[in-house]
A and B are shown apart, each in its own frame.
Chain A
Amino acid sequence: MKEFFKFFDKFTFLILLMLALIGIVLIYSAAHTSEQSNFTKQLLWLLVAVTAFFVVFKVKTEAIFNLSFVFYVILVVVLVLQIGAGRIISGTKSWIKMGFFYIQVSEFIKIPLALYLAKTLTKFSIIDVRGFIRLMIILGLPFVLIAMQPDMGTAFMLTSFMIFAVILKKIRPVIIIFTLVIITAGALGTWHYVLKPYQQDRIISFLNPEKYKKSTGYQIIQSKIAVGSGGLAGKGYLNGTQSQYKFLPTRHTDFIVSVLGEEFGFLGISFLFLLFFILFYRQFNLKTESDEEFYYVYLFNGLILFQFLVNILMSIGFFPVMGVPLPFVSYGGSSLLAFFIGEAIIFKIKLNTFLNEF
């Protein structure tokens, strides 16, 4: 126990807590005029997430990796069942009700997926065609199921695993060429046969928001106005006109950073970036004992980085509106809980390395 407190990465954990608390402060600002309960709900979720974080420490790392495939299969099955009989919330079949809370399964599958992919990556030294197909099946199954919900945003986040797999492993050039062809064909196919008109509009409007001012470009424009009008120091807490007067859409979830930008200005944004930079820097540069741990750390942190980038860029119109929450900050219990559990595994890996080195 004494060793635990000595070698546990308290500093990084504090950063995680700060991000979540900043989120709660911003959620209050974003939603206090309409849905008061969002703020207290998120506070409760944070308690749940921190508890779960320390529960993970009780489990052996080996067991976590060994069980990853089982969890992966279970969650895939749940996703399949949901397609048929999910509670419909805001047009997507991605939520299941558990007591008072709604659980978003697609958020949780990221953990076993990262673990299982990491394990699989250790099996070969270079990604050849067979290996590539294997990875694609592991990744493609949940991707397709989540996309069918339809939740393109969350599905799109999973592609970060592929990007990082390529960074981590040597890959045959022919596969890259082949993949690019498949992606192009897939993108065109998705555009015509999968995407609903409103989803197409979102992507088009991202390219030219002024033209879609009244419809889908509206969100982007209002978010940019919120961020831009914040200036250096912001308009002050609870004083942002864009968020307080409800011009900013989905401000407690997808556009939470716009609330920060408006009320706390460039300084507030810079502080948030600093926290995230420290988090990424420390979590990418830790010592690991095995390859699968190393891969997992990169895959899971890579996912956070990817989702962070998409969300941030979306708020100033550099990325299409995706419906992707900002990790640790945005409102949403499932997302918060999943990221805390995923991080707990990284913390445990870090702790174990220290303990074993002694």
Chain B
Amino acid sequence: MYIEKRKLSQQEIKRISTVINIFLILIFIVLLFLFWNVQILKNQYYTDLATSNIRKEIEIKAPRGLILDRKRRRLSENKINFNLFVTREYSRNMNRTIKTAAALTRMEPDGIRKAIDKYKGYPKSYSIPVRKDLPLGKVIYIESRSDEFPEFEINIEPARAYPYKEMASHILGYISELTPGELVRKKGYKLGDLIGKSGIEKVYESSLRGTGGVRTVVKDNLGKVREILDEENPTIGGSVILTIDLELQKYIEELFAGHKGTAGVVDLRTGGILAMVSKPNFNPEFFSGPLETEEWLALINDPDKPLHNKFLQGLYLPGSVFKVVMALAALEEKAADTSTISTCFGRVKIYDRYFHCWKRTGHGNMNIYNALKESCNVFFYRLGKKLDIDVIAKYAQMLGLGRETKLDLPNEKKGLFPTKEWKLRELNQKWFPGETISVAIGGGMMYVTPAQVLEMISTVALRGRKPRFHLMEQIEKDGKVVETYKPAFENVPIAGENFEIVIEGLYRVVNDGGTGRAAKIDGLDICGKTGTQLILSLENPNYKQLVKQKRFTPHSWFASFAPRNKPEIAMVIFIENGGDAGAIAAPIARKIYKRIFE
């Protein structure tokens, strides 16, 4: 058996086994060399790669600083939004899902159906946002019944809360995710970060924004955190304390119910804004979180422009309020004094054209005090004939008109006060003297913001010390004050006695049966000037008819300050299409003074 099966010679077997043995030894030497190379020589390289595989740095977002009022009440704070999503794929019965969602959100089932139908083209596994900011009770209800409602999902999102909703929205502004454009411009931001987009949130972004922390963790390949190696805590942003008085702000907003317009109240001792209202306004919480395109379009296309801050961005004709500037310019330029008498017959012919007083029957003999008190147009038309437009512009600008107030809010409008040079440059036209007559009563090609009017009346109240307006009082970080606003005033070169003459006129407006008598408070010397800015010309043949329509009703101004001798408060009230200023704007001012001084 052994013999017949063995054909291979012993040498042949020897040859084969020698070949294989040499081969074996070579293989194992090469293998050992290869592993030596990878494990020993390149050990550091692969160790670093292994470490970077598992070591991950996770950003911990810093809480944003608070915005507080002067008494440190929270106007803007942080919260967490619970948003409700529906995934159709997991719904066993779509009708039941919609019914449940309606019951949970207190929305109409049809509204929810519509919201879901918008995503018809999306895959069934897509999570559809149904409702933002679900109350905590409902969140717990859904989360505890996740087996019963697999189609509902709650997503947690850090957000900004404004406890008083619409109140002071134009001051506070809003935050939202930064745009790709901002991502390029701003340093230290990542896509998805929230950034102040308007108001205090924007201006003090760098203070409000905290410093993010970093958590170094060990993560496995499935993204699960296995271990926390190191944690660098985030630091909360600084708190911005405003000059705003929450109660006053709230009170004025209530007074503005049903009105469109703006109001500003300033503390004359510091220039700090105590309240600033612009109506209509908006709820800043709306922006915090992902925006729905339709809601956004609805907001920016609203004809009432709720995002527009009328106090700083509304450009209007000042109307009769401008007579204050005119009176000061005339006194300073010696074009008039206390003995100047001008007779009003209801109209006056200047440069071959009739200019009308608002009182058709005329005011009779007027001195400068009574002209301010009665707001007599004819008196000021005649001053307009005596003064050059460039001279008027000098005083107007000195007092702040057509100039930014530099209040610490973004996107302030500069407005316009015309000069000869301006008209030639911009319109390529010569200035006509007749235009100066319109300017004299606050008309013509002039655009001012209510903030500028407030600055003007404040400068008059302080007899030539123009206050620098501000909203920020203090910035605090970790309980320490980092920044405090120092009040600043600018001196306007107008003689003190001329201010006293004008102030006497303004005193009579309120306290001597003048146009602002509705603002009178016994025991408080309020000085002010009304302005009823006509939308239609008095010469319009259909004036009486058209003026009844709301959109042709005049705008109402009332700029005032008090007390007369030691001024503390100045304010401007502007009601769009309010009608007679003495009947609309002055009583509102009275209520505000009463509130402040009682």
Contact = CB atoms under 8 A, between A and B. Distances in A.
Interface of A: 122, 125, 167-168, 222, 224-232, 241-242, 244-247, 261, 265-266, 269-270, 273, 277, 280-281, 284-285, 289-292, 294, 298, 305, 309, 312-313, 316, 318, 356
Given A231-B43, A284-B17, A284-B20, A294 B222 contact: no
Contacts of A356: 2
Nearest to B39: A266
Contact of B13 (A227, A232, A246, A294): A294
A269 B31 CA distance: 10
Interface string B7-37: 1100001001101110010011001101110
12 contacts: A224-B46, A228-B47, A242-B50, A242-B53, A245-B54, A269-B35, A270-B32, A277-B24, A281-B21, A285-B21, A291-B7, A292-B5
B226 interface: yes
B596 interface: no
A88 B441 CA distance: 93
Given A269-B35, A284-B24, A228 B5 contact: no
B40 interface: yes
B39 to A, nearest CB: 4
A272 to B, nearest CB: 10
A246 B222 CA distance: 8
Contacts of B27: 305, 309
Contact of B39 (A122, A228, A245, A318): A228
B42 interface: yes
A261 B51 CA distance: 16
Nearest to A280: B24
Given A246-B220, A246-B222, A266 B40 contact: yes
Contacts of B49: 225, 228-229
Nearest to B49: A225
Interface of B, helix, strand, loop or mixed by DSSP: helix
B16 A298 contact: yes
Nearest to B220: A245
Interface size class, chain B: 35 or more
B38 A227 contact: yes
Nearest to A267: B39
A231 B47 contact: yes
Contacts of A224: 38, 46
Contacts of A227: 35, 38-39, 46
A289 B13 CA distance: 12
A254 B35 CA distance: 17
Nearest to A231: B43
Interface of A, helix, strand, loop or mixed by DSSP: helix
A152 B598 CA distance: 94
> Which of B16, B42, B46, B226 has most chain A Cβ within 10 Å?
B46
Contacts of A292: 5
Given A122-B7, A289-B6, 16 more contacts: A225-B53, A228-B43, A228-B46, A230-B43, A231-B39, A231-B43, A232-B40, A241-B218, A242-B50, A245-B219, A245-B221, A246-B220, A246-B221, A269-B39, A281-B21, A284-B24
A313 B50 CA distance: 20
B300 to A, nearest CB: 42
In the A-B complex, the 4 residue pairs with the smallest Cβ-Cβ separation, listed nearest first, are A228-B46, A290-B5, A245-B220, A229-B50
B569 to A, nearest CB: 67
Nearest to B41: A228
B45 interface: yes
B12 to A, nearest CB: 9
Nearest to A245: B220
A309 B13 CA distance: 24
Contacts of B35: 227, 261, 266, 269-270, 316
Nearest to B18: A285
B363 to A, nearest CB: 86
Contact of A167 (B16, B39, B47): B16
A289 B46 contact: no
Contacts of B21: 281, 284-285
Contact of B53 (A247, A269, A277, A284): A247
Contacts of A168: 16
A305 B24 CA distance: 9
A168 B7 CA distance: 13
Contacts of A241: 50-51, 53-54, 218
Contacts of A229: 43, 46-47, 49-50
Interface in B43-69: 43, 45-47, 49-51, 53-54
B39 A265 contact: yes
Contacts of B221: 245-247
B220 A316 contact: no
Nearest to A168: B16
A273 B28 contact: yes
Nearest to A317: B38
B298 to A, nearest CB: 43
Contacts of B32: 270, 273
Contacts of A244: 220
Nearest to B55: A241
Nearest to B50: A229
Contacts of B38: 224, 227-228, 316
